Structure 1
Amino acid sequence: MRTTLDFSPLFRTGIGFDRLFDVLESASRIQPMDNWPPYDIIRVGEDAYRIVMAVAGYDRDELTLTDRPNLLVVAGAKREAEPAPDSVYLHKGIAGRTFERRFELADHVKVAGASLDKGLLTIELQREIPEALKPRRIEIRSEAAGTTKAPAQIEAPKAA
């Protein structure tokens, strides 16, 4: 028995968390467990990640990477190769089916590049936080003891 979570009470008091609620809702939906093609997700630095996907037999033009806001979609569609007229498959165990794998990306995570080598598709991801959102240090001034500041003048002195 699977119960679905109701996030509607949180919408009444949580402001600006729409993206988080969307991710939680999509994760709670029943999705088929498809383990193909196999992949690894590796953290290679504080703000750098790598996805390595085993796509043996696929060529560059048979793979598509789509970078949407907060979503990376990797799809593959194999072109059917015609076997020679005098050959018959006795066993066909190499997968060549169409696939689509989706990766939810956090805010400010962008695809930095991708490469295909020896059947491994490597996708480099980088978190790039805008300067305005980075933490900044606030300088604390100290007032010298015993010195008083002159009060700020609000009105100009009256001319005589």
Structure 2
Amino acid sequence: MNAIDLTPLYRSSVGFDRLGSLINHALTTESTPGGYPPYNIEVLDENRYAITLALAGFSQEELDIQVEKGVLTVRGNKHAKDERTYLYQSIANRTFERKFNLADYVEVTGADLSNGLLTISLVKEIPEAMKPKSIAINQNSNVLEHKTEEKSTKGDKAV
């Protein structure tokens, strides 16, 4: 599959190069075969999210959650082989790795394993310096510039 040309976006925008690489990565990488484990991504409110993975048969010790360079990785590794004999087995207990790209300022705040569901809590915390702010317009700002110019021209005339 060919990559999308985002050149028009780059002509009028600054700092969206990560977006371009995310789009290209999403289009060129194959998703986990079979979609295992199944998961949901839920919007709890404007800045809170939850990712829930169905992990029947996994214990807390068999799971690993890491965040590195804006990528959340969840790994499951079955340590012991099941010695049981099955007539039919449909519950998947295989090793897996599932990755999620996180937007800027999205942080993992916790994880909970309950009833075979792993829920990872996320929050988007925009730093105060990055939040929009209103700039007051001062009508008297030109007065200061004019007074400075008058002082410099008066000083030149006196010499």
Q: Matches of residues 15-34 of structure 1 in structure 2 within 5 Å?
A: 15-32=14-31, 33-34=33-34
Distance 1:12 1:115 in 2: 40
Distance 1:34 1:88 in 2: 24
Q: Identify the residue that residue 2 of structure 2 maps to in structure 1.
A: 4
Q: How many residues align?
A: 151
Does the aligned pair in 1 maintain the 2:65–2:75 contact within 8 Å?
A: yes
Unaligned stretches of 5+ residues in structure 2: none
Amino acid at match of 1:108: Y
How far did 1:151 drift? Answer: 2.3
More helix by share: 2
In the alignment, what sits opposite 2:130? 133
Deviations 1:90-142 (A, max 9, x none): 22222100111111111111101111111110100111111211101111234
Distance 1:68 1:27 in 2: 18
Letter of the 1:102 partner, please give it.
K
Distance of 1:47 and 1:139 partners within structure 2: 28
Contact 2:6 2:20 in 1 (8 A): no
Q: Alpha carbons of 1:8 and 1:82: their partners in 2 closer, same or farther (altered >3 Å)? A: closer
1:25 Cα shift? 0.9
Match of 1:151 in 2: 147
**SS, match of residue 34 in structure 2:** coil
Percent of residue pairs bearing the same amino acid type: 37
SS of the residue corresponding to residue 152 of structure 2 reads coil
Question: What is the match of residue 101 of structure 1?
Answer: 98
Task: For 2:138, give the aligned amino acid.
Answer: R
Residues 56-65 or 134-143, more deviating: 134-143
CA shift, 1:75, in A, is: 0.9
Q: CA deviation at 1:19?
A: 0.6
Give the superposition deviation at 1:6: 4.6
Measured after TM superposition, the shift of residue 36 of structure 1 is 1.5
**1:36-55 paired onto structure 2 within 5 Å:** 36-55=36-55
The Cα shift of 1:5 comes to: 2.5
Long gaps (5+) in structure 1:
none
Cα distance change, pair 96–10 in 1 and its aligned pair in 2 (3 A): same
- Per the alignment, do residues 91 and 125 of structure 1 end up closer, same or farther by CA in structure 2, a change over 3 Å counting? same
Shift of 1:51: 0.6
Are residues 48 and 141 of structure 1, via their aligned partners in 2, closer, same or farther at CA, if it must alter by over 3 Å? same
